[in-house]
Amino acid sequence: MLPNYQDTMQEILPFRFELDKILIAGSCLWSLALYLAFSPVGEWVTEQLNRWFNFAERSLYTSQTEFEKTRKARESQNAFYASLFSIVPFIIAGILFNWVIKISLSDSWGISTGMLACMGAGIYQLGRRDGDYSD
């Protein structure tokens, strides 16, 4: 028989904490819906973060030759980090959207409306890309 996960964590940590699964699921769904619906904003945030990371890293080097030697690898790494960090504003907005729905309606409505928002944003994104492609 497998040990219970809660009991194992209780042995490792001297305190107990609860994660609200409904809050996490609803917030993630709303974050995804906002990321899909406002994808040009996400691309702009990624570009700005990439520019900032490249600028900040440039200030760490004193020699131009050493900077140019590893430039391509560092710019690729900065682009990766920028794409990862670009979701943070959408996660914060998703948490706020889910919190407002939780207060105004109830817990389970955050997941339901998040699913509907994801479907609507996905359909909108398909239509927007099709319109861009046909132009």
**pLDDT tens per residue across span 75-108:** 888 899 999 999 999 999 999 999 999 999 887 7
**Does residue 123 form part of some domain?**
yes
Per-residue confidence at 110, pLDDT binned at 50, 70, 90?
confident
Give me the domain span that covers residue 47. Answer: 21-33+40-134
**Does residue 5 form part of some domain?**
no
Cα 114 to Cα 25: distance, rounded to the nearest angstrom = 9
Cα 120 to Cα 105: distance, rounded to the nearest angstrom = 20
- The count of domains in the chain is 1
Percent over 90 (pLDDT), the chain: 48
**Higher per-residue confidence, 15 vs 28:** 28
**pLDDT tens per residue across span 12-23:** 777 776 778 888
Average pLDDT, the chain: 85
The tokens of 13 are what? Answer: 């940590």
- In Å, how far are 13, 15, 25, 101 from 6, measured between CA atoms? 10, 11, 20, 30
Residue with tokens 């997941």: 111
Per-residue confidence at 4, pLDDT binned at 50, 70, 90?
low
**Does residue 7 form part of some domain?**
no
| pLDDT of res. 61 | 77
**Does residue 3 form part of some domain?**
no
Percent over 70 (pLDDT), the chain: 91
**Does residue 79 form part of some domain?**
yes
Cα 45 to Cα 51: distance, rounded to the nearest angstrom = 10
**Does residue 14 form part of some domain?**
no
**Does residue 4 form part of some domain?**
no
**Does residue 49 form part of some domain?**
yes
Q: 2 pLDDT exceeds 60?
A: no
Cα 25 to Cα 33: distance, rounded to the nearest angstrom = 12
Average pLDDT estimate for 64-71: 78
pTM: 0.75
| pLDDT of res. 7 | 62
